[in-house]
């Protein structure tokens, strides 16, 4: 709000966290705000719903056998109905079942890619931001090179070196994804390493490792949480793109991108083959984005690069 | 048209509508600035000084602000009833202002000259759509304005971006912009706080000298009593959107009447030694649930029953000295 | 003087990135997959044939010499032979590139024409319905994959309403204008062929929008934040207090500083749109480089892959260089900070 300094109390002032405990406290206070924000609640529920459906896929889907190389030529290309909510595909498999199983692949992609790239990127980011000089230059110039290509193109190029499978696609995406986290963390580290509590820690002779992981890392945690949430959506998007181009999930495995790519051949008559997997992807990515946006408000993150 | 007072604020109320409800930021303040007079408005951060200033300048955003009651008479005209066009005509030429933070008051992506030229140009009634008129005349006036605020090498300053200048130089540029169109009334919002102490003092000296020689009326807004003492003739003490006391400046420092003024002066550390400065207990209230009656009553050592019931009017204690406190009213006893 | 310094620094940085990228791509395309000659000829080729091809491709030399040879070739405009088309990769790229550039440029136009004004209005009228709409658009833009936008667009506008074509750059029966630049819109303008111009325009609408969707949302939100930020600054209030008219303040003193943030990420937007082009060209049968690239990747045509990746990297670096220099030109803070 504008006008008077009196109109608002001292809110929005940047508080530096000095320990993991303080970070937990921040989460606690943030959770209070989070619960009151309908948008982030909606995002969280969407993501949670998809995760639950994916985990319980064999139990909640009507035709779990349709997730693989199943064929039933008596019921091909059926329009959506009570028994097949999303219709059936060219070999008679239930699209709803395959969408839910497709979610498994998408979520697995996000977990694997971020699980591999985040620790790597965070570590390099801490190092680059904390030790200035040659190390920083080398690391940051390397990220520049990786960022000179759109993620999808880079992933495509790396995929091209291997036989296309979803596992290879995950590795390819992970091998470029660390750069984003590296730059984010390096930026935060650079700005807080001059703060008093870090200098105090240096003065009492803490090791570099202690300073990096006990003093600096907690201050990156909020930004990182937001970044990871938003990235989950983005990784799934790139994964779907790779599958759509035939370099990700290979049939008969159900991948959302793959399903859309096959469905597109039957447009416009068999529209359900394209529309439902598309909506499914949209739903999941939107969920992650709403959640990430809510987290950003909740944790009051303003770092560059998110 | 000569109105006795340059500025007259009468019973001004300004409220803000926000998430927390309605903030009653200004609760009926009245204030006069005579012609050629230099008046101070003193108060803590958050007491409504800036809102007062914005209302006078006609830059208050409505909504979220609203003015349920009150008048702001500038040179005989009510600012609150002026059209946007009328407001535009008086800005810069009749009324102008000095900003608190010179770091942020200049646009970082334009050269100083470009900004100064625009200020001069529009005062001459240029609509801004035609080509630049009076090219050299504008340039000469800009140079003269910069020389007046004692900036060395004004030609170079005109070609500089704000971030190439120091804080003191930027504040000088801003003073030049404020005065270049010859305003008769100037609002200065803590013009020294964002600067180093010595630089701030130089800026204040320069400003005092310029307004004195040009006969400009000034309303100086600050929380710094030292600045009030040095640069103003009369002072209003403001607390939480109410005027607590008004008096000639020297009197305030010798004989403050309002309990808040007394507390405020007692909290200023003195170089002459003596007892340790004491603060005023409590904090500035929340404006959505402001205290009833006199807003200072929860923090006041002399609080009486009437204080929380009715807002005190301004009681004269001496010809030029008014106090908004029931202690000085007929109903109240003497201290 | 100052600006020259800034300019040279940026140029040097761009060249460094390009060199790094070429090494990275060399590693990916020449080293990771193993033996490209074997891959090119297939598992049933004789050893002699493979060895012959290896020699022909210069792959029997040490790696660093291979790299040097490759870079030398690039400077002569030689990116090697494409295995799939049996033509020079440079020729193939020259043939396919204009279609892609035209498409991406059109999508940048979408971003600038819709995203920026939308963001300015949303920031100027914060919390209005327009602002909320921009938030919704941004969320949708980020969450919908570009190929889905394309497919849904086809479903609605082509199959449903029948007002836009589904695939290609021109209608089948439309004789293309003589090729001058390779950009159909420019070529038909040069030829004065307005029927072809209209046809090309109608064909590019949907695919370029599908590519631009994400960028529109992002730029709108960024501009919105930037505008609302700038509006809260003292210098806007100061300009008004000194008697500069509101409209003039808005168009001059507000817009210029507000455009810096969106301008600096325009390079990234361009890159992500090039990436999106890979997906969207497939949907629309757009005869561009992305389609050529996908085929190259699926058939392990490594010279073509390296060529495409380098060209895209080059495009990105050039665009970013231009954007950086522009931003430095607009914002003295950027170029002065650089000197310190």
Residue B88 CA, distance from chain mean position: 20
DSSP code for B188: E
Q: What domains appear along chain C, each with residue ranges and CATH number?
A: 3-75 (no CATH), 89-298 (1.10.3720.10)
* Average pLDDT across chain A, whole number: 83
Could you state, in order of their start, the residue ranges of all structural domains in chain B? 5-82+224-328
Q: Which residues of C touch B100 (CB under 8 A)?
A: 234
Give residue C179's pLDDT: 78
Is the separation of the CB atoms in B30 and B243 below 8 Å?
Answer: yes
What is the number of other CB atoms lying within 10 angstroms of the CB of residue C243? 25
Instruction: Please answer yes or no on whether B177 and C256 come within 8 Å at the CB atom.
Output: no
Give residue B129's pLDDT: 45
Is the separation of the CB atoms in B246 and B234 below 8 Å?
Answer: yes
How far apart, in whole angstroms, are the C-alpha atoms of residue B62 and residue A163? Answer: 64
Given CB atoms, is A10 within the 8 Å cutoff of chain B? Answer: no
Which residues, 6+ apart, have CB-to-CB distance to C149 below 8 Å?
A: C209, C210, C213
How far apart, in whole angstroms, are the C-alpha atoms of residue C2 and residue C335? Answer: 8
- Angle formed by the axes of helices C146-153 and C194-231, to 10°? 130
Q: Is residue A7 part of a domain?
A: no
Q: C-alpha angle B68/B70/B71, rounded to 5°?
A: 135
Instruction: Please answer yes or no on whether B64 and A5 come within 8 Å at the CB atom.
Output: no
Q: Which residues of C touch B127 (CB under 8 A)?
A: 245
Region B180-209: mean pLDDT is 82
Instruction: Please answer yes or no on whether B108 and C260 come within 8 Å at the CB atom.
Output: no
Neighbouring chains to A with at least 3 Cβ pairs closer than 8 Å? B, C
Q: Is the pLDDT of residue A113 over 90?
A: yes
pTM: 0.81
Q: Which residues of B touch A5 (CB under 8 A)?
A: 45-46, 50
Q: Is residue A22 part of a domain?
A: no
Give residue B18's pLDDT: 67
3-class secondary structure, A1: coil
How far apart, in whole angstroms, are the C-alpha atoms of residue A209 and residue A212? Answer: 5
Given CB atoms, is B57 within the 8 Å cutoff of chain C? Answer: yes
Q: How close, in Å, is residue C244 to chain B by CA atoms? A: 6
Is the separation of the CB atoms in A289 and A233 below 8 Å?
Answer: yes
Q: Is 3.40.50.300 the CATH number for B5-82+224-328?
A: yes
Closest residue to B107, CB basis, from C235, C245, C336? C235
Given CB atoms, is A301 within the 8 Å cutoff of chain C? Answer: no
Instruction: Please answer yes or no on whether C257 and B93 come within 8 Å at the CB atom.
Output: no
Give residue A6's pLDDT: 33
Region B50-60: mean pLDDT is 80
Letter string b/e over residues A141-165, b meaning 16 or more CB atoms within 10 A of that residue's CB: ebbbbbbbbbbbbbbbbbbbbbebe
Is the separation of the CB atoms in A147 and A257 below 8 Å?
Answer: no
Closest residue to B104, CB basis, from C235, C240, C331? C235
Ordered DSSP codes for C278-306:
HHHHHHHT--SHHHHHHHHHHTT-HHHHH
Instruction: Please answer yes or no on whether B109 and C234 come within 8 Å at the CB atom.
Output: no
Q: Is the pLDDT of residue B221 over 80?
A: yes
**CATH code assigned at A136:** 1.10.3720.10
How far apart, in whole angstroms, are the C-alpha atoms of residue B314 and residue C16? Answer: 73
How far apart, in whole angstroms, are the C-alpha atoms of residue C159 and residue C153? Answer: 9
- Going by pLDDT thresholds of 50, 70 and 90, the confidence category of residue B113 is confident
Among chain B, residues having any CB pair with chain A shorter than 8 Å are 16, 18, 23, 25, 45-48, 50-51, 54, 60-61, 64-65, 284, 286-287
Instruction: Please answer yes or no on whether A247 and C298 come within 8 Å at the CB atom.
Output: yes
The interface predicted TM-score of the complex, written ipTM, equals 0.84
How many structural domains is chain A composed of? Answer: 1
Instruction: Please answer yes or no on whether A145 and C20 come within 8 Å at the CB atom.
Output: yes
Instruction: Please answer yes or no on whether B18 and A1 come within 8 Å at the CB atom.
Output: yes
CB proximity under 8 Å: A 271-300 to C: 271, 274-275, 278, 281-282, 285-286, 289-290, 293
DSSP lists the bridge partners of residue A117 as none
Q: C-alpha angle B91/B97/B98, rounded to 5°?
A: 155
Q: Is the pLDDT of residue A7 over 50?
A: no
What is the bridge-based pairing of β-strands B321-323 and B242-248?
antiparallel
How far apart, in whole angstroms, are the C-alpha atoms of residue A220 and residue B22? Answer: 37
Spans of chain C below 70 pLDDT = 1-2, 31-40, 57, 336-340
Q: Is residue A19 part of a domain?
A: no
pLDDT tens digits, one per residue of A248-284: 888 888 888 889 988 888 878 888 889 999 999 999 9
What is the signed CA dihedral for A208, A213, A217, A219, rounded to 10 degrees? -80
Nearest CA in chain A to C137: A286
Is the separation of the CB atoms in A267 and A6 below 8 Å?
Answer: no
Nearest CA in chain A to C316: A148
Give which of B323, B314, B312, B320 is closest to B256, Cα–Cα. B323
Question: Distances in Å between the alpha carbon of B171 and those of B93, B123, B310?
Answer: 19, 21, 43
How far apart, in whole angstroms, are the C-alpha atoms of residue C58 and residue C66? Answer: 7
DSSP lists the bridge partners of residue B7 as B33, B74
DSSP lists the bridge partners of residue B42 as B222, B237
- Going by pLDDT thresholds of 50, 70 and 90, the confidence category of residue A46 is very high
| C192-198 contacts at long range (C-beta below 8 A, 24 or more positions apart) | C196/C170
Q: A38 is in which domain, residue-wise?
A: 33-59+86-299
Instruction: Please answer yes or no on whether B23 and A7 come within 8 Å at the CB atom.
Output: yes
Give residue A306's pLDDT: 54
- Angle formed by the axes of helices C63-75 and C2-26, to 10°? 130
Burial class (CB in 10 A: 0-12, 13-18, 19+), B107: buried
Q: Which residues of B touch A10 (CB under 8 A)?
A: none
How far apart, in whole angstroms, are the C-alpha atoms of residue A117 and residue A232? Answer: 12
Q: Which residues of B touch C260 (CB under 8 A)?
A: 109
């Amino acid at each position: 709000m504008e006008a008077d300094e009196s109109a608002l109390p001292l809110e929005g002032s940047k508080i530096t966290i000095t320990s993991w405990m303080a970070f937990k406290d921040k989460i606690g206070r943030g959770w209070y705000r989070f619960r009151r924000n309908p948008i982030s609640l909606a995002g969280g529920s969407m993501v949670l719903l998809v995760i639950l459906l994916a985990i319980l896929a064999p139990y909640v889907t009507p035709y779990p056998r349709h997730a693989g190389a199943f064929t039933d030529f008596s019921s091909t290309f059926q329009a959506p109905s009570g028994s097949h909510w999303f219709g059936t595909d060219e070999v008679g498999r239930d699209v709803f079942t395959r969408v839910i199983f497709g979610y498994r692949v998408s979520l697995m992609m996000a977990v694997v890619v971020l699980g591999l790239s985040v620790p790597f990127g965070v570590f390099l980011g801490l190092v680059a931001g904390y030790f200035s000089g040659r190390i920083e230059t080398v690391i940051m110039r390397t990220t520049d090179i990786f960022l000179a290509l759109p993620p999808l193109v880079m992933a495509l190029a790396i995929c091209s070196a291997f036989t296309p499978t979803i596992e290879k696609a995950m590795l390819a995406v992970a091998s470029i994804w660390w750069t984003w986290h590296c730059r984010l963390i390096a930026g935060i580290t650079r700005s807080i390493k001059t703060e008093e509590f870090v200098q105090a820690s240096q003065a009492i002779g803490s090791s570099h490792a202690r300073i990096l992981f006990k003093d600096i890392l907690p201050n990156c945690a909020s930004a990182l949480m937001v970044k990871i949430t938003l990235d989950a959506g983005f990784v799934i998007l790139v994964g779907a793109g790779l599958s759509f181009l035939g370099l990700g999930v290979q049939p008969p495995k159900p991948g959302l991108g793959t399903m859309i790519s096959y469905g597109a051949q039957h447009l416009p008559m068999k529209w359900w083959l394209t529309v439902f997997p598309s909506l499914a992807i949209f739903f999941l990515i939107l969920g992650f984005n709403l959640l990430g946006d809510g987290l950003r408000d909740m944790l009051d993150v303003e770092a560059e690069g998110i | 048209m000569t109105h006795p007072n340059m500025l007259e604020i009468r019973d001004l109320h300004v409220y803000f509508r926000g998430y927390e409800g309605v903030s009653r930021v200004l609760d009926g303040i009245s204030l006069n600035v005579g012609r050629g007079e230099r008046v101070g408005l003193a108060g803590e951060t958050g007491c409504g000084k800036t809102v007062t200033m914005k209302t006078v300048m006609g830059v208050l955003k409505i909504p979220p602000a609203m003015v349920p009651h009150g008048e702001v008479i500038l040179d005989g005209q009510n600012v609150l009833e002026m059209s946007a066009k009328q407001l535009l005509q008086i800005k810069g030429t009749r009324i102008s202002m000095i900003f608190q933070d010179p770091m942020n008051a200049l646009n970082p992506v334009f050269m100083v000259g470009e900004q100064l030229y625009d200020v001069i140009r529009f005062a001459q009634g240029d609509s801004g759509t035609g080509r630049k008129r009076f090219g050299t005349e504008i340039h000469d006036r800009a140079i003269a304005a910069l020389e007046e605020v004692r900036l060395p090498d004004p030609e170079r300053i005109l070609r500089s971006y704000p971030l190439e200048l120091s804080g003191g130089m930027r504040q000088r540029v801003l003073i030049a912009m404020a005065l270049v169109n010859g305003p008769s009334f100037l609002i200065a919002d803590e013009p020294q706080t964002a600067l180093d102490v010595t630089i701030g003092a130089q800026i204040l000296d320069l400003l005092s000298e310029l307004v004195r020689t040009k006969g400009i009326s000034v309303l100086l807004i600050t929380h710094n009593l030292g600045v009030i003492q040095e640069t103003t003739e009369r002072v209003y003490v403001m607390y939480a959107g109410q005027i607590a006391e008004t008096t000639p400046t020297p009197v305030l420092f010798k004989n403050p009447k309002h309990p808040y003024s007394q507390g405020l002066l007692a909290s200023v550390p003195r170089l002459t030694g003596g007892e340790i400065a004491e603060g005023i207990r409590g904090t500035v209230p929340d404006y959505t649930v402001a205290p009833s009656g006199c807003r200072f009553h929860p923090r006041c050592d002399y609080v009486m029953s009437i204080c929380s019931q009715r807002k005190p009017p301004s009681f004269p204690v001496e010809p030029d000295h008014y106090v908004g406190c029931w202690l000085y009213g007929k109903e109240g006893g003497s201290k | 003087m100052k600006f020259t310094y800034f300019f040279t620094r940026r140029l040097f940085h761009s060249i460094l990135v390009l060199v790094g990228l070429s090494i990275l791509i060399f590693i990916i395309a020449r080293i990771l997959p193993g033996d490209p000659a074997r891959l090119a000829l297939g598992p049933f080729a004789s050893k002699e044939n493979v060895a012959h091809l290896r020699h022909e491709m210069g792959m029997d030399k040490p790696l660093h010499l291979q790299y040097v040879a490759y870079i030398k070739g690039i400077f002569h405009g030689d990116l090697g032979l494409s295995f799939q088309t049996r033509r020079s990769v440079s020729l193939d790229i020259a043939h396919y590139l204009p279609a892609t550039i035209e498409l991406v440029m059109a999508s940048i136009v979408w971003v600038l024409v819709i995203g920026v004004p939308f963001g300015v209005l949303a920031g100027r009228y914060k919390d209005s319905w327009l602002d909320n709409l921009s938030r919704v658009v941004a969320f949708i833009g980020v969450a919908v994959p570009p190929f889905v936008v394309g497919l849904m667009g086809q479903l609605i506008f082509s199959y449903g309403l029948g007002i836009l074509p589904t695939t290609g750059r021109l209608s089948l029966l439309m004789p293309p204008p003589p090729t001058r630049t390779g950009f159909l819109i420019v070529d038909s303008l040069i030829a004065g062929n307005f029927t072809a111009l209209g046809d090309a325009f109608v064909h590019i609408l949907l695919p370029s929008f599908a590519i631009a969707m994400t960028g529109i949302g992002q730029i709108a939100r960024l501009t919105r934040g930037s505008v609302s930020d700038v509006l809260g600054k003292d210098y806007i209030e100061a300009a008004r207090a000194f008697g500069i008219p509101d409209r003039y303040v808005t168009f001059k003193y507000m817009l210029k500083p507000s455009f810096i943030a969106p301008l600096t990420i325009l390079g990234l937007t361009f890159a992500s749109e090039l990436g999106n082009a890979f997906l969207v060209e497939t949907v629309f049968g757009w005869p561009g480089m992305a389609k050529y690239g996908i085929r190259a990747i699926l058939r392990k045509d490594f010279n073509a892959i390296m060529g495409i990746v380098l060209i895209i990297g080059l495009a990105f670096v050039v665009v970013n260089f231009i954007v950086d220099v522009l931003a430095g030109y607009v914002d003295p803070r950027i170029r002065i900070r650089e000197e310190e």
